[in-house]
Amino acid sequence: MNKQFLQQVSSSFHSDNMCTGKCSSCIAVTLFPFVLISIICNIVLFFPGGDVKYAKEKHLTQEVYYMGGLVGGGLMVLIPAIYINLTGEQGCCGNRCGMFLSILFAAVGLTGATYSFIVAVLGLTNGPFCSVGGTWTTPFKNSNSTYLTDSKLWEECTEPKNVVQFNTGLFMTLVTASCLQILLCAVQMLNGLFGCLCGACISKEVT
């Protein structure tokens, strides 16, 4: 009686709580919103003040052109997230080989998220590209990011309007999103390793 009960508990624990396939699906679903946030932030950065003229005149922060959010935290995480999601379903990817490949895809996502993080940190460190007394420059580039805590310095940038708050808010969002993406991709690499060794443990429907 006790032996049968323990076997049932063990089986339930393995199939429901320790299922690497289900874990992959959860990770992928969580990654998708951060991919969308990264892409949107990068696109919005091209239009400070909601005006397209700064993009046309190339009066944008240099880090915007690196497209960390669009390419790194966007496409380089989106493609792995789609594949990782497939490993949580029955089919060609929901097996040991699929879980092994998910490790490689997660590594690509980790690289993309890291790139997005680095670009966003540089964007915060160097500050915005703005007009100071009619001259376009990066006034806070050598300030060691002290401008972030001194709002009085923000008045130096006369154009685009509120560009410091604009850049800071979006780059901070990218930093946060990329950090979470890095964490999730790292977890999937471990999950994929367990799945490769133990299987995806995807339960099959009984007909």
> In the chain, which residues have pLDDT < 70?
1-18, 89-96, 199-207
Q: Would 11 be classed as within a structural domain?
A: no
**Beta-carbon contacts of residue 5 (< 8 Å; ≥ 6 apart):** none
> Where in the sequence is the domain holding 114, given as residue range(s)?
20-198
The pTM assigned to this predicted structure is: 0.84
- Give the tens place of pLDDT for each residue, 152-206: 889 899 999 999 999 999 999 999 999 999 999 999 999 888 877 775 565 544 3
Q: Would 10 be classed as within a structural domain?
A: no
**Residue 79 has which token pair?**
């493609």
Q: Provide the pLDDT for residue 201.
A: 60
Extended strands (E) in the chain: 130-132, 135-137
Q: Provide the pLDDT for residue 48.
A: 94
Radius of gyration of the chain (CA): 23
Q: Would 77 be classed as within a structural domain?
A: yes
**Total domains present in the chain:** 1
By residue count, the chain amounts to: 207
